[in-house]
Amino acid sequence: MNEPRRVEHQQTDKGYVPVYTTDVVEQPWASYTATDHDVWRQLYERQREILVGRASDEFLIAQDAMGMTPDAIPKFTELNTVLRAATGWEVIGVEGLLPELTFFDHLANRRFPVTWWIRTPGQLDYLAEPDLFHDLFGHVPLLMNPLFGDYMAAYGRGGVKAHGIGPEALVNLTRLYWYTVEFGLIKQKDGLRIYGSGIVSSKGESIHCLESPAPNRIGFDLERIMRTRYRIDTYQKTYFVIDSFAQLIEATEPDFTPIYARLATQDSFPAGTVLDGDQVFHRGSGAGWLNDGDI
Ligand code: PHE
Ligand code: FE
């Protein structure tokens, strides 16, 4: 595999992170080695086995419909034929994390940036920054879903707007991304399931988020999420649960401008906080989940 071009490192609220060129790059597919393809295969097979019964039906159906397989690292050009026809989205190759405004602009125009390089065999369980496996396996399948695809594009437009309002608005909006796109859970008929990309691309967190008694699982509440800080160095202390992608779209439809203004005068909460009024989900005695409203 070619070397990714890191430009410099920078201290940000996500830690000391590498800064990459913001250029769109062609996926250097021919440069992937047998080891790279093997890392993809191992991660793909391991995650699919864990995710059947844990990831949302929408995610699993979309992933199959895209034609991703464990056999080899997919070619972006081939995925794009399917993706464009389904929802108008396409994947573009990038070196790594992008500056916020560049990222929002891509999303608003239905371009999802995917890091072209993949982790090494020594990094199967954890990597501090997004790589091809996280971006492609984790984020791209749900872009096949019309509702989720609309949500992501709306998020991009909202990001451009928040960027114009100021850094505090961006902090609030980024928490929404974190607790939905990256670490969201969804309530299905038969219990809680995963749809967040940060979870589906992690073996440990895919099990932890549903099976561990430790984290809170709280019903989606927009302003509550925007006030909740998050951890980047551990499994999440709190997951927020949506009823459906339609609920997510409906709840995020209103103009956020007055919400940002209101939140600017309010405190944020540590990641693990449970508040009066939170709709907390508890594991039921059988397969199901209950929340306070059901008891
Ligand atoms: N409605 C939001 C706004 O006015 C935009 C948005 C939509 C943000 C969906 C996130 C997700 O800013
Ligand atoms: Fe991500």
Q: On the CB side of 119, how many CA atoms lie within 13 Å of its CA? A: 23
Residue 141 makes CB contacts below 8 A (sequence gap 6+) with 59, 62, 63, 66, 68
Residue 4 inside a domain? The answer is no
258 lines ligand 1 (CB under 6 A): no
User: What residue's CA is closest to ligand 1, atom 5?
Assistant: 158
Minimum-distance ligand 1 atom for the alpha carbon of 255? 4
List the domain range (segments joined by +) for residue 228.
Answer: 12-294
Per-residue pLDDT of the chain (295 residues; tens, 9 = 90+): 777 766 667 676 667 776 667 889 999 999 999 999 999 999 999 999 999 999 999 999 999 999 999 999 999 999 999 999 999 999 999 998 899 999 999 999 999 999 999 999 999 998 888 999 999 999 999 999 999 999 999 999 999 999 999 999 999 999 999 999 999 999 999 899 999 999 999 999 999 999 999 999 999 999 999 999 999 889 999 999 999 999 999 999 999 999 999 999 999 999 999 999 999 998 864 445 555 444 3
280 pocket-lining for ligand 1 (C-beta < 6 Å): no
Give residue 233's pLDDT.
Answer: 86
CATH code for the domain of 79: 1.10.800.10
The bound ligand whose nearest atom lies closest to the alpha carbon of 134 is 2
- On whether residue 1 sits in a domain, the answer given is no
Please choose from 253, 256, 257 the residue to mutate so as to test ligand 1's pocket, defined by most ligand atoms within 8 A of CB. 256
Residue closest to 19 by CA, chosen among 129, 152, 106: 129
Residue 6, SS3 per DSSP: strand
Provide the pLDDT for residue 286.
41
Tokens of residue 164, six digits: 């114009």
Is residue 5 assigned to a domain? no
Please report, for residues 119, 225, 226, 228, the alpha-carbon distance to residue 270 in angstroms, rounded to integers and kept in the order given.
31, 11, 12, 6
Find out whether 148 and 65 touch, Cβ atoms under 8 Å: no
Give pLDDT, residue 293.
Answer: 44
255 pocket-lining for ligand 1 (C-beta < 6 Å) = yes
Residue 280 lies in a domain: yes
Q: Is residue 65 part of a domain?
A: yes
Residue 295, pLDDT score: 39
Which residue CA neighbors atom 4 of ligand 1 most closely? 255
For residue 251, what are the contacts with CB-CB under 8 A and spacing of at least 6? 220, 222
Domains held by the chain: number: 1
What per-residue confidence (pLDDT) applies to 285? 44
Which residue among 100, 148, 151, 155 has the greatest number of ligand 1 atoms within 8 angstroms of its CB, and so is best to mutate?
Answer: 155
In a domain, 194, yes or no: yes
Decide if 196 is inside a domain.
yes
The CA–CA distances, whole Å, from 55 to 168, 185, 257 equal 32, 9, 33
Strands (E), 195-264: 216-219, 238-242
SS3 217: strand
In sequence order, the β-bridge partners of residue 18 are: 9
- Phi-psi label, residue 140: left if phi above 0, alpha if psi -120 to 50, beta otherwise: alpha
Is the distance from the beta carbon of residue 259 to the nearest atom of ligand 1 less than 6 Å? Answer: no
CB 87 within 8 A of CB 149: yes
User: Is the distance from the beta carbon of residue 154 to the nearest atom of ligand 1 less than 6 Å?
Assistant: yes
